[in-house]
């Protein structure tokens, strides 16, 4: 049994430390009911019921915990996360009510990326009990998917190259009896010329490839999930600054989201035919790197002039979106760490969402809002399509003016999505600059839960 699967357990009356949840408004009444010594203990810890405050109070031979939250009747994903971070190892139950949504943050709060550095002073797992046993498996799977995104993104590029993304896809395929195929080498150059061009300058052990996974009953509606897998982005010959390159191990964050979402879909047994596509490349610098001014062929037959080699993510996605469209899926969703413009507009915590259909945007936003993972919709304005014009090719991959960078990148992708296909694009940061309860600094999942719960509502078969 993994550590994660132990963190939420069915409540069968076993011994556990009680957690009392209070608000700033209700704390006074709660404290009045306590003996003077316990009130003094809370006062000594400067506890007043504010959100994310925690305290431990002696109770005869034992003790209980107190946590400050906004509303005990409506727990969000991270209401109990601070408790899970700071309490001693042991088994806990809420003194009143059930954790429900807060199970998510209880698990993610205890996750650490320890591949290269072991945690210090580990007090052991904090186990939370719940009488809602039927919800535990789904909550654990969702938290594990979020943790997977964090781990993949946090891993340095040398250890998380295209082959490592392929290995993760193989692990998923083996776990869920899915079919996997990988295209690389000469065949990649012939069939997916933009993926090959972006990745061809990398070292041999980081050779570019297109990873595909298929799962589910072929008679079910086909859904394609695509993730940008640029495992490191130097900027190519339009090389980034040192500051700009520092976090570029996270440029495969879209692939991490797509892999995690595929795992959730298969674990939940959604009634769909899954097609996962990950174009995996390193945008490196060498004598054979693609150049500014080059014109690339594409799988779709369009030609693309390279205005900037640092706008490479849209190139590899273009070939993958074309391949996904060839099977005419009912829905396509892609994830990509695509533009700095999206971060300027929305900051790190809100993934930019672009869709062709209003109802798809509405469903994704509603699912995200309900699960503390709300995206923010940006437009795909027809008026800006001309900014992708080229004098010598069908498209230019980088428009010359500084405006609407996220939307124009989305419009570039839109050219490679088949006519009439319902398509959603997440421009996600995949990185948390500052820690919050239940959400550590570093690799982060944004839009993953929104997409999964939208798909679960549409394809659960209920």
SS (HEC) of 382-401: HHHHHHHCCCCCCEECCCCC
Point out the catalytic residue in the list 126, 184, 249, 314: 314
Interior CA angle at 218 toward 222 and 354, to 5°? 10
**Which phi-psi region, left, alpha or beta, contains residue 90 (left: φ > 0; alpha: ψ -120 to 50)?**
left
Structure tokens at 197: 């061009």
Point out the catalytic residue in the list 24, 39, 131, 240: 240
Give the alpha-carbon dihedral of 305, 311, 313, 317, to 10 degrees.
-30
Q: What angle separates helix 448-459 from helix 358-370, to the nearest 10 degrees?
A: 110
Instruction: Provide the H-helix boundaries in 328-390.
Output: 340-346, 358-370
Stated length of the chain: 462
- CA nearest 456: which of 265, 276, 273, 225? 265
Element (H, E) at 223: strand 222-227
Helix, strand or coil, per DSSP, at residue 151: helix
> Using the 8-state DSSP alphabet, how is residue 221 labeled?
P
Dihedral sign, Cα of residue 68, residue 72, residue 76, residue 81: positive
Report how far residue 159's alpha carbon sits from residue 152's, in angstroms, rounded to the nearest whole number.
10
What values do phi and psi take at 37, rounded to 5? -65, -40
Instruction: Provide the H-helix boundaries in 184-252.
Output: 185-191, 193-199, 242-245
Helix, strand or coil, per DSSP, at residue 344: helix
- CA nearest 31: which of 17, 45, 18, 49? 49
Inter-residue contact 366 to 389 (CB < 8 Å): no
Helix, strand or coil, per DSSP, at residue 202: coil
**Residue 449 CB burial class (10 angstroms; 0-12, 13-18, ≥19):** buried
Structure tokens at 13: 């009356």
The yes-or-no answer on residue 222 being catalytic is no
Report how far residue 339's alpha carbon sits from residue 407's, in angstroms, rounded to the nearest whole number.
9
The yes-or-no answer on residue 240 being catalytic is yes
Dihedral sign, Cα of residue 366, residue 372, residue 378, residue 380: negative
Structure tokens at 138: 């789904």
What are the catalytic residues? 240, 314
């Amino acid at each position: 049994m993994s550590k994660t699967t132990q963190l939420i357990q069915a409540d069968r009356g076993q011994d556990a430390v009680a957690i009392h949840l209070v608000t700033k408004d209700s704390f006074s009444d709660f404290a009045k009911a306590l003996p003077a010594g316990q009130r003094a203990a809370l006062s000594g810890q400067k506890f007043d019921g504010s959100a994310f405050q925690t305290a431990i109070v002696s109770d005869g031979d034992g003790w209980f915990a107190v946590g400050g939250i906004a509303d005990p009747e409506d727990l969000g994903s991270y209401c109990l996360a601070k408790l899970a971070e700071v309490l001693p190892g042991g088994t806990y139950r809420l003194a009143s009510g059930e954790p429900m949504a807060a199970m998510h943050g209880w698990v993610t709060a205890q996750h650490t990326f320890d591949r290269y550095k072991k945690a210090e002073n580990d007090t052991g797992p904090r186990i939370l009990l719940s009488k809602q046993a039927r919800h535990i498996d789904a909550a654990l799977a969702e938290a594990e998917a979020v943790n997977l995104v964090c781990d993949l993104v946090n891993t340095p590029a040398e250890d998380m190259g295209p082959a490592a993304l392929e290995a993760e896809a193989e692990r998923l395929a083996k776990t869920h009896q899915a079919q996997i195929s990988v295209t690389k080498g000469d065949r990649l150059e012939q069939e997916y010329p933009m993926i090959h061009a972006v990745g061809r300058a990398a070292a041999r052990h980081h050779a570019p490839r297109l990873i595909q996974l298929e799962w589910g009953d072929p008679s079910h509606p086909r859904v394609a999930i695509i993730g940008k897998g640029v495992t490191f982005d130097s900027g190519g010959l339009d090389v980034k600054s040192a500051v700009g390159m520092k976090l570029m191990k996270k440029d495969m964050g879209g692939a991490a989201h797509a892999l995690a979402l595929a795992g959730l879909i298969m674990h939940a047994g959604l009634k769909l035919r899954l097609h996962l596509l990950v174009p995996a490349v390193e945008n490196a610098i060498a004598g054979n790197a693609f150049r500014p001014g080059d014109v690339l062929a594409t799988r779709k037959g369009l030609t693309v002039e390279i205005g900037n080699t640092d706008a490479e993510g849209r190139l590899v996605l273009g070939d993958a979106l074309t391949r996904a469209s060839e099977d005419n899926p009912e829905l396509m969703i892609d994830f990509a760490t695509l533009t700095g413009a999206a971060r300027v507009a929305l900051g790190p915590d809100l993934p930019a969402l672009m869709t062709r259909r209003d109802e798809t945007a509405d469903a994704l936003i509603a699912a995200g809002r309900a699960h503390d993972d709300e995206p923010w919709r940006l437009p795909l304005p027809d008026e800006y399509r001309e900014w992708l014009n080229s004098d010598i090719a069908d498209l230019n991959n980088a428009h010359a003016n500084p405006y609407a960078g996220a939307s124009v990148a989305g419009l570039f992708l839109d050219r490679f999505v088949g006519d009439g296909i319902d398509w959603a694009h997440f421009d996600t940061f995949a990185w948390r600059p500052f820690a919050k309860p239940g959400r550590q600094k570093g690799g982060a999942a944004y839009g993953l839960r929104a997409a999964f719960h939208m798909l679960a509502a549409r394809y659960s078969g209920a």
